Amino acid sequence: MTSAPATPARTTADPDARPPTKAFGLLYGIGFGGFVDGIVLHQILQWHHMVSDVDGYPTTTVAGLEANTLADGFFHVATWLFLLAASLLAIRAWQQGRLAPTWRFHLGLVAAGWGIFNLVEGLINHQILGVHHLRDDLGAPLSWDLGFLAFGVLLVVGGMLVHRNGARALAARHPRGRGTPA
């Protein structure tokens, strides 16, 4: 059984090309943002773990650290799944013959996706559920949590500005592909 060859990504000279999709850029950002959080904040700096503020799972005991390490592992699996979904959507967009995104179009979405990750994770895990804070080892973690949320807002706003600039440049080079990207 043979499959038909995949349609290559279209160039800006192709009059029938559809605009690139936003979905995989945002998903890459969410996944990479999760990996930065998990690798840098959980593992390298060891500022917090997934359930380090939950009673019964203190990071000061071997059993508590084992439970937090397991929870961190499940968190990494989830971020990996976001990256897998992003990759599958990117391949699908190429197969559909969509225009390839410009660097600004794509990297702006990646930054915005990372910011979305920070906002969702910071609001749900830090504020609503309280399973951990950005810095669990300090007496006043709220200021660190608010800084994390502010950084997320900056990533979303800055990323969307970069993305919009890239989308305008792409539309200027390919006027027929101006439809709203999915």
Higher pLDDT, 23 or 180: 23
The average pLDDT across 144-151 equals: 95
Whether the CB-CB separation of 77 and 31 falls below 8 Å is answered with no
Query: Angle, nearest 10°, between helix axes 23-36 and 142-173?
Result: 150
Q: Which two tokens stand for residue 107?
A: 């990297």
Q: What is the model's pLDDT at position 15?
A: 53
The alpha helices in 96-180, defined as continuous H runs, are 103-121, 142-173
- The model's pLDDT over 14-65, given as tens digits with 9 standing for 90+, comes to 556 788 899 999 999 999 999 999 999 999 998 989 998 888 888 889 999 9
Distance between CA atoms of residues 117 and 170, nearest Å:
27
Whether the CB-CB separation of 167 and 12 falls below 8 Å is answered with no
Give how far Cα 120 sits from Cα of 17, 57, 124, 177, Å. 34, 23, 6, 32
| Residue 175: band (very low, low, confident or very high) from pLDDT cuts 50, 70, 90 | confident
| Residue 158: band (very low, low, confident or very high) from pLDDT cuts 50, 70, 90 | very high
Whether the CB-CB separation of 25 and 106 falls below 8 Å is answered with yes
Q: What is the model's pLDDT at position 57?
A: 86
- The model's pLDDT over 78-122, given as tens digits with 9 standing for 90+, comes to 999 999 999 999 999 999 999 889 999 999 999 999 999 999 999
Q: Which two tokens stand for residue 9?
A: 């990504």
Distance between CA atoms of residues 182 and 176, nearest Å:
15
Higher pLDDT, 16 or 136: 136
Higher pLDDT, 136 or 3: 136
| Residue 12: band (very low, low, confident or very high) from pLDDT cuts 50, 70, 90 | very low
The average pLDDT across 60-77 equals: 93
Q: What is the model's pLDDT at position 95?
A: 92
Q: What is the model's pLDDT at position 6?
A: 54
